Amino acid sequence: MMSPDEHNPGESLETLDWGPAVESAEEARSWIEQSGTQPAHFIGGEWSAPAAAKRFSSRCPATGEALRDVLQGSSEDVDRAVQAARTALPTWQAMGPDGRARCLYAIARNIQKESRLFAVVESLDNGKPIRETRDLDIPLVVRHFYHHAGAAQLLDETDPGAEPWGVCGQIIPWNFPLLMLAWKIAPALACGNTVVLKPAEWTSLSALLFAETCQKAGLPDGVINIVTGDGETGAAIVAHPDIDKVAFTGSTEVGRIIREATAGSGKGLTLELGGKSPYIIFEDSDIDSAVEGLVDAIWFNQGQVCCAGSRMLVQESISDEVHRKVEERMSRLRVGNPLDKAIDIGAMVEEKHRDQVAAMCERAKGEGITCIQPPIDLPKQGYWFPPTLFRDAPLSSEIASQEVFGPVLVSTTFRTPQEAVKIANHSRYGLAASIWSQDIDTALDVARKVEAGTVWVNGTNMFDASSGFGGMKESGFGREGGREGLRAYLRDVKPMTPTDGDTSATGGIVNSTSTDPALDRTAKLYIGGKQVRPDGGYCFEVQSPSGELLGLAARSNRKDVRNAVEASHRSKWGSMTGHARAQVLWFIAENLEPRSDDLAQLIDQMTGCGAAKAREEVQQSVAGWTWWASWADKHDGAVHDTPWRGLVLAVHEPFGTAGVICPQQNPLLGLVALCAPLLATGNSVIAIPSTAALAAVEMCRIIEHSDLPAGALNLLTGDAAEIGPVLAGHDDVDLLWHVSDEPLARELEAVSAGNMKVCWRPGELSDRSRRMLDRGTQVKNIWLPHGI
Ligand code: NDP
C-alpha cells in the first residue's frame, strides 16, 4: 500500500483512493517562528525569560523537526508565578461572578476566532490529525470556557457562600494539550481561583498561544501563569508551600508521587490518571456500529487517550465475525501527515514514547500472543506506529493489563454478561467503559456493574463540560466537568483536629495491667456483625479524666484490620436499596434512644463533660442516625444536558469500603456523625473510635440488634496511630475519612497512595450538609445516546 506522502493524483482517479487534503500550516508556522524568537514563561501578565534559563526543543512528531525552543522552568520561576497568582487573587475575586463570567466568555470567543490557528499549532506540536484538533479538541475547549462562564455567573446561586481554594497548581499531559488546559483552567477561574499551569514538556505551544489569548481577552495580570518545563518543574509546583490546590492529569505513577508529596499538607488534590478501559461487545449489538466505534475508541489520537477502549471484550458467539470486521477495518486505516484532513492516524507524540509502545508490543509477541498489524507503509520521517491488535491476550499478560498509551488493542472473549463484568473489572484502573448491546436490560445492568467513572452505552469518547469525567480505583479521584468538577475548585472544610470538640481531652492508650471484675465485661471488637476477641489478645484501659478505671477496650492489630476489610467486602449493605438502608438506620436510632441515660452517664464518666453535655451528645447521635437515614433514599444523581443527542445519567455510587478515624472527643457523636452518612450512601465502614471507646462499643452492641447486615459497620478499638496507617494502606479499602493531627495525616495520606484511595478530613461533627453525602459517593456518568 502506498503511503499518503507518496501521492499520485492519476492513480487516485483509478483506485478511487483518497487524495491528500492538506491544511495549510503557514499561519501556524509564522506564529511559532515569531513566538519562538524569545522563548519565555507567561508570569504576571508578562513574558518572562530569565537570562540563565535552560531550553529544550519542542518537536513536530510527524517530521522530527525542531519547531521552536521552550524554557525549562526552575523553582525560582515557579515561585515568581505563584507570587504573581497570589497577588492577582484579590483583584480577580473582587470582580465577582459577573466579571469573571465575562472574562471566561471573552476567552471562549477569542479561541473561537482563532480556532484554526489553535488546531494547526496543536497538530504540528502533538502529531494528532487535524480532523481531531479541528473537530473535537478545539470545539470542546471552547464549549468548556462557555459552560464555565455560565458556571461563574451562577456560582452564588449554585454554591452560596463557597470560597475558592486560592492559588491552584495545575499539571497536564501531552495527549490533549489544550483540552486538558481548558478542563483545568475554566473551572478554576469560574470559582475565583488563580492558576499556575505547567504544560507537558513535549507539547507546550498551544498553552503559550493560549496565554496570548488571555491577554487579548483582557484577563487581569497574574490570574493565569504558564511555566513551561519538565517533570522537575511540575514537582516544584506540587511542593510550593503557597499553592492551595494541586490538579494533575497524567500517569498513575506520577499521580502516586504527587499523592505522597502532598500528604498531610492540607492542599486540595484531584488526580486524573491512566486507564485500561474495556470495550464490551454483546452478541445482540449492532456489530457494524460497534466496530466503527472501536476505531474511534482505540485509534483516535493514536490510542494516546486515557480512556481509550484498549481492551475489547467480545461475546464468544460473534467473536470471529467481529475480529474479521475489525481486521478488515484496520487494513483501511490511513496513517500519515496529521495536517491531511483525510488521515485517520497521525504521528506518535515522541520517538521515546513510540519506542516504549513498540517495546511493549515486542514483549507481547515474545510471549506468543497473536499480533495483527495491517501492511501499512509508514512515513519515513517522524514517529509512527501502525494500528495493532493482540488477539486472545491472556488477562494477566503485560499487554492486556498495563496501559500501552498507543494504537494497540487487545482482545478477549466472554460467554455471559456476568463474565464480561468480571473481566472488565479485572483491572487496577477504572476510568471508562463502552458497552454495546441493543438490549436495554443488558446494557444498563452492565453499566451499573462496571467499575468506571464514565460508561458509554453504544458509543465511545463522548465528552462535555456539563458532565463530569474522571476515574475510580487507580485511575484517580475527582472529576473534571460537571458540578462535581466545579466544586473541586471550591475550598474544602477546615479539617477537624483529633481534640476539637465540646469536651475536655481524654487520655490516649493505657495498657491494661489488670482487669476489674466489678465491670464483668469482655473487651471485644465488632467485626462481621459479631463481637470478636482481638487477634493480639491485648486490651487497654479506658479511664476517667481523673484516672479512674472505667473499663477495658480491645486493642486491635493489623490482623484485625484485615479481618474487618474482608467482612466489609462480604457485606450485602452496598447492594441494598436506599429505602432498605433508611429503615435500618432509623431502627438503630430507635434502639439507641432508650439507652440515652446510661450512655450519657458513660460519656460523662469518660470525658468529664458534665451530664447536660453528655445527654446532648446522645441526643445529637440519635438525631444523626435519623438525619442520615432520611437521606439514604434521597441523594439522587442528575441527568445532564449535553449538546449530544441522548441522556447522560450521573449516578451516585458508594465507594465500597470506607475507613474512618474518629475524633478523640465526643466518643459517641464522633462515631455516629462520620459513619452514618457513609452508611446512608451505601458504603461499608471500618471505624476506629476515640480511645474513650466504651460508648462506641455500646453503640455496636445496639447495632448488633438493629438489623444492620454483617460487615456493614466494623469497629476496631485501639490506637489510631498504630492501626490507622494499616487501614489507610490496605488496598481493599476505597475511601478514608480521618480526623488526625498533622504527622498522622501525613502518614495516612502517604500510605493511601498504594491504591490511590480518596482521603478526606471532615470539618465539624455538626456538619449535616449534602457535602457529607457527596464525600461518600462517586459519580458515574452513563452516556445513553439514542435516536431512530
Ligand atoms: P506523565 O504522568 O508522565 O506526565 C504528566 C505531567 O506531569 C507532565 O506535565 C509531566 O511533565 C509532569 N510530571 C512528570 N513528573 C512529575 C513530577 N514528579 N511531579 C509533578 N509533575 C510531573 O503523563 P504523560 O504526560 O505521559 O501523559 C500520559 C498519561 O496521562 C497516561 O497515563 C494517561 O492515561 C494520563 N491521562 C489521563 C487523563 C484523565 O483524564 N484521566 C487524560 C489524559 C491523560 P513532562 O511531561 O513535561 O515531563
Neighbours of 256 (CB within 10 A): 18
Identify whether the C-beta of residue 472 lies closer than 8 Å to the C-beta of residue 454. Answer: no
What is residue 8's predicted lDDT score, i.e. its pLDDT? Answer: 66
Cβ of 754 below 6 Å from ligand 1 = no
Among the listed residues 334, 335, 337, 322, the one whose alpha carbon sits nearest the alpha carbon of residue 292 = 322
C-alpha cell recorded at residue 520: 464483668
Identify whether the C-beta of residue 539 lies closer than 8 Å to the C-beta of residue 579. Answer: no
* Torsion, CA 60, CA 65, CA 69, CA 75, rounded to 10: 60
- Of ligand 1's atoms, which has the minimum distance to the CA of residue 198? 9
Cα–Cα dist 341/435, whole Å: 29
- The beta-strand segments (E) located in 310-453 are 311-315, 370-372, 388-391, 408-414, 429-430, 432-436
Question: DSSP letter at 677?
Answer: H
- Of ligand 1's atoms, which has the minimum distance to the CA of residue 257? 18
Beta bridge partners of 194: 167
Among the listed residues 348, 666, 632, the one whose alpha carbon sits nearest the alpha carbon of residue 498 = 666
Identify whether the C-beta of residue 353 lies closer than 8 Å to the C-beta of residue 405. Answer: yes
Cα–Cα dist 379/358, whole Å: 16
What is residue 788's predicted lDDT score, i.e. its pLDDT? Answer: 78
Task: Choose the catalytic residue: 122, 132, 272, 617.
Answer: 272
Among the listed residues 222, 182, 227, 224, the one whose alpha carbon sits nearest the alpha carbon of residue 200 = 227
What is residue 4's three-state secondary structure? helix
- Choose one of 175, 206, 240, 781 to mutate for the ligand 1 pocket test, by most ligand atoms within 8 angstroms of C-beta: 175
HEC readout, 736-773: EEECCCHHHHHHHHHHHHHCCCEEECCCCCCCCCHHHH
Cβ of 251 below 6 Å from ligand 1 = yes
Cβ of 195 below 6 Å from ligand 1 = no
What is residue 513's predicted lDDT score, i.e. its pLDDT? Answer: 52
User: Angle at Cα 585 formed by Cα 582 and Cα 587, nearest 5°?
Assistant: 110
Identify whether the C-beta of residue 236 lies closer than 8 Å to the C-beta of residue 75. Answer: yes
The whole model's pTM is what?
Answer: 0.94
- Choose one of 203, 251, 464 to mutate for the ligand 1 pocket test, by most ligand atoms within 8 angstroms of C-beta: 251
Report the amino acid identity of residue 424.
A
225 CA to centre of ligand 1 in angstroms: 19
What is residue 19's predicted lDDT score, i.e. its pLDDT? Answer: 80
Phi and psi torsions of 661, nearest 5°: -105, 110
62 CA to centre of ligand 1 in angstroms: 21
Beta bridge partners of 35: none
What is the mean pLDDT, run by run of 10 residues, along the chain of 788 residues? Answer: 53 72 97 96 97 95 98 98 98 97 98 98 98 98 98 96 97 98 98 98 98 97 98 98 98 98 97 98 98 98 98 98 98 96 97 98 98 95 98 96 98 98 98 98 98 98 97 97 96 87 52 51 90 95 94 96 98 97 97 97 97 98 97 96 94 98 97 98 98 97 97 98 98 98 97 97 96 97 93
307 CA to centre of ligand 1 in angstroms: 14
Cβ of 275 below 6 Å from ligand 1 = yes
Cβ of 273 below 6 Å from ligand 1 = yes
Cβ of 431 below 6 Å from ligand 1 = yes
254 CA to centre of ligand 1 in angstroms: 7
What is residue 504's predicted lDDT score, i.e. its pLDDT? Answer: 45
- Of ligand 1's atoms, which has the minimum distance to the CA of residue 475? 41
Q: Which long-range contacts (CB under 8 A, 24 or more apart) does 11-20 make?
A: 18/334, 18/342, 19/342, 20/337, 20/340, 20/342
127 CA to centre of ligand 1 in angstroms: 17
Cβ of 234 below 6 Å from ligand 1 = yes
331 CA to centre of ligand 1 in angstroms: 31
Cα–Cα dist 314/415, whole Å: 9
What is residue 505's predicted lDDT score, i.e. its pLDDT? Answer: 41
Rounded alpha-carbon distances, angstroms, from residue 251 to 59, 239, 256, 772: 22, 18, 9, 29
Neighbours of 448 (CB within 10 A): 14
Identify whether the C-beta of residue 664 lies closer than 8 Å to the C-beta of residue 505. Answer: yes
Beta bridge partners of 248: 171, 271
Strand 476-477 versus strand 268-272 pairing type? antiparallel
Residue of minimum CA distance from atom 35 in ligand 1: 250
What is residue 10's predicted lDDT score, i.e. its pLDDT? Answer: 65
What is residue 12's predicted lDDT score, i.e. its pLDDT? Answer: 64
Instruction: Verify whether residue 306 is a known catalytic residue.
Output: yes
Neighbours of 10 (CB within 10 A): 7
Neighbours of 65 (CB within 10 A): 12
Report the amino acid identity of residue 713.
L
198 CA to centre of ligand 1 in angstroms: 11
What is residue 17's predicted lDDT score, i.e. its pLDDT? Answer: 73
What is residue 6's predicted lDDT score, i.e. its pLDDT? Answer: 54
Among the listed residues 473, 467, 468, 527, the one whose alpha carbon sits nearest the alpha carbon of residue 732 = 473
DSSP, residue by residue, 400-422: HHS---SSEEEEEEESSHHHHHH
Q: Using the structure block, give the residue that is written with the C-alpha cell 466505534.
A: 293
Cα–Cα dist 415/447, whole Å: 17
Beta bridge partners of 532: 525
Task: Choose the catalytic residue: 103, 168, 191, 306.
Answer: 306
Cβ of 254 below 6 Å from ligand 1 = yes
Distance between the two ends of the chain, CA-based, in angstroms? 38
Among the listed residues 708, 669, 668, the one whose alpha carbon sits nearest the alpha carbon of residue 528 = 708
Rounded alpha-carbon distances, angstroms, from residue 72 to 39, 58, 526, 689: 10, 11, 55, 49
C-alpha cell recorded at residue 256: 502516586
Cβ of 272 below 6 Å from ligand 1 = yes
Instruction: Verify whether residue 675 is a known catalytic residue.
Output: no
Cα–Cα dist 140/122, whole Å: 14
Angle between helices 26-36 and 115-126 (to 10 degrees): 70
Cα–Cα dist 280/296, whole Å: 14
199 CA to centre of ligand 1 in angstroms: 9
